Amino acid sequence: MSTESSEPSRGVPSGVGPRAQETDEPEGPLSRSRSGTDPGRSGTEIPRGTGVTRAAAVWVAVAISLAVLVLLIIFFIQNQDQVRVYFLGLEGSLALGIALFIAAVGGGILVALAGGARIIQLRIQGHRRRKLGNS
């Protein structure tokens, strides 16, 4: 004897819950069947997930960049005290926020140069291995 009743449950909309998975009827005009094909077209495959598009990736990058920019603006506004800066015999007065930002950018440039040198070193090493392997 089955424990399921043939009557629809009260308070649960049609097409929701475990019973909705048992039917082959589409839930609406734009829904797909379980086989992944469009019920209105025979043999036409509807892509299940299109993945990440370039436009979506650009949108996320712009949103993150704007958030970082807002944080930088807040940092500059809160650190406007003038400080004396000395560098390679030069001296000047800058806002603390600007001085720290310049130092951070300089550190990033040094890291990028070191990383670039390592990448070139690994490419040369890989080229030598391929050259020796082909001989």
pLDDT digits (tens, 9 = 90+) for 35-93: 555 555 555 665 666 677 888 889 999 999 999 999 999 988 988 889 898 889 889 89
Nearest to 27 by CA among 19, 114, 2: 19
Report CA Rg, the chain.
31
- Does residue 127 form part of some domain? yes
Q: Could you give the number of structural domains in the chain?
A: 1
Q: Can you give the pLDDT at residue 133?
A: 77
- Does residue 23 form part of some domain? no
Beta bridge partners of 95: 82
- Does residue 47 form part of some domain? no
Structural domain that includes position 122: 54-134
- Residue 104 tokens read as 């951070």
The string of pLDDT tens digits covering residues 102-126 is 889 999 999 999 999 999 999 999 9
Sign, Cα dihedral of 98, 102, 107, 113: positive
- Does residue 95 form part of some domain? yes
Burial 43-77 (b: 16+ CB within 10 A, else e): eeeeeeeeeeeeeeeeeeeeeeeeeeeeeeeeeee
State the Cα–Cα distance between residues 37 and 34, nearest whole angstrom.
Answer: 8
Question: What pTM did the predictor assign?
Answer: 0.47
* pLDDT score of 129 more than 70: yes
- Does residue 48 form part of some domain? no
